[in-house]
Structure 1
Amino acid sequence: MKIRNATLVLAIIAALGSPYALSAGFQLSEHSAAGLGRANAGEAVIADSAAVLANNAAALTRFDSTNISVSAAYLVPKVRVTGNGPDQGVNNQLTNNNVVDNVIVPGLYIASPINDTVFWGIGVFTDFGLATKYPDDYLAGSIGGETRLETVNINPNLAFKLNEQFSAGVGVSAVYGKAKLTRTLGILADAMNADLGTDVFSRTDTAKSLDGQGWGYGFNAGLLWEINPSHRFGLSYRSKVDIDMSGDFSSDVPSTIVQPGQTVSGELTLNLPSIAEFSGYHQITEPFALHYSVVMTGWNVFKEIRATVDGQEVLQKDENFEDSFKYALGGTYFLSPNITLRAGVAYDQTPNVNNVSISLPDSDRLNYSVGASYRFNDSSSIDFGFTFVDAKEGTFTEPLEDGDGNTIVDVPFRSEGDVYIYALQYNHSF
């Protein structure tokens, strides 16, 4: 539906202001509590719990008995988005002080030897997820709304001890994905009513909504080089996964595709990136070890979010992410046979340097981590980890479009926030 009321369009442009830029991403790396406590430094090589298979299948060869780990991380984001234009009244209407929901990220891992040279393991965990929500009557509802993504990776692995120094591992992934994308009309309802000379539309009406789910498949591989008992390196790769989702599409705006109150079948393909990691571990002294990781995430496959109904495009958002790197350095101090202390720091780059979105509010960030483990006996232990994520403040714009996909105005925003992550994990060996 075209908006032909030029006076109202110009008023919106004048109120909302001028352009800037921001970054975003939705990767999760909270696979284990011990890993969280060292800023995930050395995750492809340390192997202090069965959760290592989420980072490097080859490290399964370090287990001489069956090990089970159950973990849960609690993420508490404090993310705020505000308007950044010249009109403070409009800025206040663009403010959301609780953009990202709190979330629990669980994980379950099993690692076990088959014989002296062959090992197996399976993990159920997640590498990607997102939950952002704006009020139903949000002024920029057509670019805010609700964005929710949940993924579960079911990942069986095999590892082989090639000799005393080298191990290799492979695995396959079945990734279940569930997504919900809802956009409301917001200020576009005012423009549409003015265009029609009625009050048919409300700011809370749904402009577009797609609720879908589906499966995607991939693989992972890894190598472990144990130079000696004090020094080792790990290298791993997890392939990209394309999840083909199908679900229900609806809208309160009548069109040739769907009428208000009607639901039709829609499709969306979500391209999840590859992950490559190099890690090192060095026992510097008897009580102290140093470890590190460099992680490259192949975000360049995430070009757009595009949904279709019978081949016709109903939702499209350019993303054009770029590959990003994470650099992590950590230390482990073995205080006693029963108590282990950890700390670490990481610099995590954002992948979104080309396009902007208030539905993915994030930026380059520094992670500061501490953690500890307590061993009850030879068979059981518990890990605790805490990370403070310090995200850079950013200013950016996002285009506000009419019903035909024409840009009316670039809406200016400011994003700021931190994340507090707490994790707990229980480990048991048999």
Structure 2
Amino acid sequence: MDLKSRNTALSLAITMAFSAPAVHSAGFQLTEHSAAGLGRANAGEAAIADGSSVMAHNAAAITRFDSYELSLGAAYVDAEVKATGNTTDASFNNQLTNNDVVDDVVIPSFYLAGPINESWSWGLAVFTDFGLSTKYPADYLAGPIGGETTLETINFNPNIAYRINDQWSVGAGASVVYGKAKVVRTLGILADASNLENGTNFARSDIARSLGGDGWGYGFNLGALWEINENHRFGLSYRSKVDVEFDGDYTSDVPSAIIMPGETRSGDLTLNLPSIAEFSGFHQLSNSFALHYSVMMVGWDVFEELKATVDGQEVLQKDENFDNSFKYAIGATYNLTSAFTLRAGVAYDETPNVNDPSISLPDTDRINYSVGATYAFTPNSRLDLGFTFVNGEENTFTEPLEPDSLPGVDIPLRTKGDAYVYGIQYNHTF
């Protein structure tokens, strides 16, 4: 069994690229930017501006603040993603079953924004748009496409906004994105095949490839806010794609032309994170009730291919063929009293991964059901709470086990993913 350079590169690229959450938002996007937003399914986020977390969606909206706004928040994601085989052979299916694919994660956020003068405002947002943590058993039958994968990204996002007049504001910002990834892939069934054909003594849990590394990427964001009057406004924003350049250490238990067991080699890969365009509306229909909505387009079509190198050698060109995806959300806010605010929303989130599904990214279309509330302790301090149930569709597909060394060997799979997302955020005006 030939497990040489192309297989090394294959897993290096797949694991770095598919290090993404399969249940929070479609693709490997994260939208847990605030507890208030979580409680309304992120409906109206580019226009509401009820906290400084609006910078994650529209920098122009910070001109609505007459004083400084500080927000500190976190979201806890309890994911329930399952994968299994999809054949008539129960024993084979059981060997491909994992009932806990995605690890639970905590997603923190920080925002500070305020006026410079009557026309200018500024702010700093620290949050994440993309990330993942998935894990399959070490002796998993489909180890070459399963394994352990994590990706963490942090967006350091300074913003500035200008109020043109009473109705129009514009804003812009810079995205400095730090990414950190770790991936482990095991031999799985390839160990059985190699032992049978070549007389080797591999175990399914032996490391086919392991990579841990980090890198930086840079982008920008633009936004506009049209305030028709105090009760009706629209927001439009754009966040550019970011290319994160990863560098890391690569090891393997399998001898090859690139590496021997016990050695470490350098590997690098460019991960193309997509652009995000969003349109939102907000309408205060009475003193107590407001309706809001959003349409978001994620430019996943930049994720066309992956190219990986090990020790400076280009060892992979792999087509990915993601499609652009849309998210549609509608929500409502009800001011119960001067201290209590209630909110709810629903969203439909499309998957971009319709051409080449993978158990490293068990992603499907999903519907989000959300509720939330705010309690104001004082006129200057309040606490937001939010909850979203993510209901993902079941997906059946086949995935090539090793396209280079085992062409035509596809694994029939079935995945299903839901999640329970809890958010809390403290806001202070000063």
Q: Which amino acid aligns with 1:154?
A: F
Match of 1:126 among 119, 125, 128: 128
Contact 2:74 2:423 in 1 (8 A): yes
| Cα distance in 2, alignment partners of residues 406 and 203 from structure 1 | 17
Contact 2:362 2:417 in 1 (8 A): no
Match of 1:75 among 50, 74, 77: 77
Q: Structure 2 vs 1, CA of residues 116 and 405 (structure 1 numbering), >3 Å: closer, same or farther?
A: farther
Contact 2:357 2:363 in 1 (8 A): no
**What corresponds to 2:9 in structure 1?**
none
Deviation per residue, 1:317-371 (Å, 9 max, x gap) = 5421110000000000011110000000000000001001101112000000000
Q: Which amino acid aligns with 1:185?
A: L
Residue segments in structure 2 that go unaligned for 5+ positions in a row: 4-21
CA displacement at 1:2 relative to structure 2? 2.9
**What corresponds to 2:418 in structure 1?**
418
CA displacement at 1:307 relative to structure 2? 2.6
Match of 1:44 among 28, 43, 46: 46
CA displacement at 1:140 relative to structure 2? 0.5
**What corresponds to 1:9 in structure 2?**
none
CA displacement at 1:251 relative to structure 2? 1.1
Deviation per residue, 1:360-403 (Å, 9 max, x gap) = 1120000000000000111100000000000001101110117x
Q: Structure 2 vs 1, CA of residues 291 and 343 (structure 1 numbering), >3 Å: closer, same or farther?
A: same
CA displacement at 1:305 relative to structure 2? 4.1
| Cα distance in 1, alignment partners of residues 105 and 55 from structure 2 | 23
Q: Structure 2 vs 1, CA of residues 123 and 61 (structure 1 numbering), >3 Å: closer, same or farther?
A: same
| Cα distance in 1, alignment partners of residues 425 and 294 from structure 2 | 21
Q: Structure 2 vs 1, CA of residues 237 and 352 (structure 1 numbering), >3 Å: closer, same or farther?
A: same
CA displacement at 1:80 relative to structure 2? 0.4
| Cα distance in 1, alignment partners of residues 231 and 254 from structure 2 | 65
| Cα distance in 1, alignment partners of residues 79 and 257 from structure 2 | 40
CA displacement at 1:417 relative to structure 2? 2.3
| Cα distance in 1, alignment partners of residues 279 and 325 from structure 2 | 14
| Cα distance in 2, alignment partners of residues 92 and 80 from structure 1 | 12
**What corresponds to 2:112 in structure 1?**
110
CA displacement at 1:225 relative to structure 2? 0.2
Q: Structure 2 vs 1, CA of residues 363 and 418 (structure 1 numbering), >3 Å: closer, same or farther?
A: same
The alignment partner of 2:144 has SS state of coil
CA displacement at 1:316 relative to structure 2? 6.3
| Cα distance in 1, alignment partners of residues 101 and 324 from structure 2 | 25
Contact 1:127 1:151 in 2 (8 A): yes
The alignment partner of 1:176 has SS state of strand
- Structure 1's consecutive aligned runs of 4 or more residues displaced over 6 angstroms after TM superposition are none
**What corresponds to 1:61 in structure 2?**
63
**What corresponds to 1:176 in structure 2?**
178
The alignment partner of 1:376 has SS state of strand
| Cα distance in 1, alignment partners of residues 361 and 103 from structure 2 | 12
CA displacement at 1:252 relative to structure 2? 1.1
| Cα distance in 1, alignment partners of residues 425 and 100 from structure 2 | 28
**What corresponds to 1:218 in structure 2?**
219
The alignment partner of 1:344 has SS state of strand
Contact 1:38 1:371 in 2 (8 A): yes
**What corresponds to 1:10 in structure 2?**
none
Q: Does 1:357 align with 2:358?
A: yes
Q: Which amino acid aligns with 2:398?
A: T
CA displacement at 1:409 relative to structure 2? 1.1
The alignment partner of 1:137 has SS state of coil
**What corresponds to 2:293 in structure 1?**
292
The alignment partner of 1:254 has SS state of coil
The alignment partner of 1:353 has SS state of coil
Deviation per residue, 1:130-164 (Å, 9 max, x gap) = 11110110000001011211100000000000001
| Cα distance in 2, alignment partners of residues 212 and 303 from structure 1 | 22
| Cα distance in 2, alignment partners of residues 158 and 180 from structure 1 | 34
Contact 1:318 1:355 in 2 (8 A): no
**What corresponds to 1:152 in structure 2?**
154
| Cα distance in 2, alignment partners of residues 237 and 164 from structure 1 | 22
Contact 1:389 1:418 in 2 (8 A): yes
Q: Which amino acid aligns with 1:239?
A: S
| Cα distance in 2, alignment partners of residues 131 and 318 from structure 1 | 23
Q: Structure 2 vs 1, CA of residues 317 and 386 (structure 1 numbering), >3 Å: closer, same or farther?
A: farther
The alignment partner of 1:265 has SS state of strand
CA displacement at 1:311 relative to structure 2? 3.4
The TM-score with structure 1 as length reference comes to 0.93
Q: Does 1:330 align with 2:358?
A: no
| Cα distance in 2, alignment partners of residues 55 and 211 from structure 1 | 31
Contact 2:144 2:185 in 1 (8 A): yes
| Cα distance in 1, alignment partners of residues 50 and 379 from structure 2 | 13
CA displacement at 1:298 relative to structure 2? 0.3
Q: Which amino acid aligns with 1:307?
A: A
Contact 1:208 1:315 in 2 (8 A): no
| Cα distance in 1, alignment partners of residues 130 and 73 from structure 2 | 16
| Cα distance in 2, alignment partners of residues 313 and 81 from structure 1 | 32
Matches within 5 A, 1:378-397: 378-397=379-398
Name whichever of 215-224 and 178-187 sits farther off: 178-187
Deviation per residue, 1:47-103 (Å, 9 max, x gap) = 101000010000010000011000100001101001001211010000000000000
Matches within 5 A, 1:338-349: 338-349=339-350
Deviation per residue, 1:391-422 (Å, 9 max, x gap) = 001101110117x4442511001111210000
Q: Structure 2 vs 1, CA of residues 314 and 103 (structure 1 numbering), >3 Å: closer, same or farther?
A: farther
Q: Does 1:254 align with 2:255?
A: yes
| Cα distance in 2, alignment partners of residues 316 and 77 from structure 1 | 32
| Cα distance in 2, alignment partners of residues 364 and 254 from structure 1 | 40
Deviation per residue, 1:28-48 (Å, 9 max, x gap) = 000000000000000001010
**What corresponds to 2:372 in structure 1?**
371
| Cα distance in 1, alignment partners of residues 197 and 108 from structure 2 | 49
Name whichever of 100-109 and 180-189 sits farther off: 180-189
| Cα distance in 2, alignment partners of residues 187 and 408 from structure 1 | 15
| Cα distance in 2, alignment partners of residues 323 and 77 from structure 1 | 24
